[in-house]
Amino acid sequence: MAAPTWPHPLIAREGWPWLAGAIALALLATWGAGAWSLPLWILAVFVLQFFRDPPRVVPPDPRAVLSPADGRIVVVGRARDPWTDRDALKISVFMNVFNVHSNRAPVDGTVRHVDYKRGAFVNAALDKASTENERNALVITLPDGRELTCVQVAGLVARRILCYVGVGDRLARGQRYGFIRFGSRVDLYLPPEATPLAQVGDKVAATSTVLATLPPR
């Protein structure tokens, strides 16, 4: 297995202001209220664990489709990719507030299209979140010409989708490309010939878990 090739801190940069604010409040409360500050220290620990961003080992198989997020599989099945208007294998990962929320590229490829849509904030574990919630889609062209769509979907509490890549950018498997705050999901629309390796209910880890494999082309 190959080691991650991009540098990043163990605490996601998106969380630095939140963590600094939580610690500052806890320190101020400790100075003014002593033991009554404990709830604020618990809040600071929660913020710390939410924004953790550990490095991950990248599996070596170039045909492997890697999980773009930590969480639990809530969908594995046939669907229509609304961004490419093609039949697809859909795999969805639900992230609760205790999961790592960095999003990572599932494949090597080039971003062909980016599409952000405003929407609702229903529970991201529900199927209708894919079509009703606020979301940001990347259509990625693989080196062999096939395409895959990776969609960040906001959740009931999540109110901010962050995406750091645009059209023409090249992605490497496991590369960090975005972040969603406070509970959400990521939908993958794979070529229909992909073989799923994940099942509904499985717990997965971004980059290190293989969700499916693509046949040679």
Query: What gap in Å lies between CA 116 and CA 194, rounded to an integer?
Result: 26
The DSSP H or E segment spanning 18 is helix 16-33
Q: Would you call 208 a catalytic residue per the annotation?
A: no
- Residue 5 three-state SS: coil
The DSSP 8-state label assigned to residue 2 in this structure reads B
From the list 37, 92, 130, 184, the catalytic residue is 184
| Alpha carbon distances (Å) from 100 to 10, 25, 70, 149, 191 | 11, 24, 6, 21, 27
Q: What angle do CA 179, 173, 151 make, to 5 degrees?
A: 45
Cβ atoms of 158 and 96 within 8 Å: the answer is no
- List the catalytic residues: 184
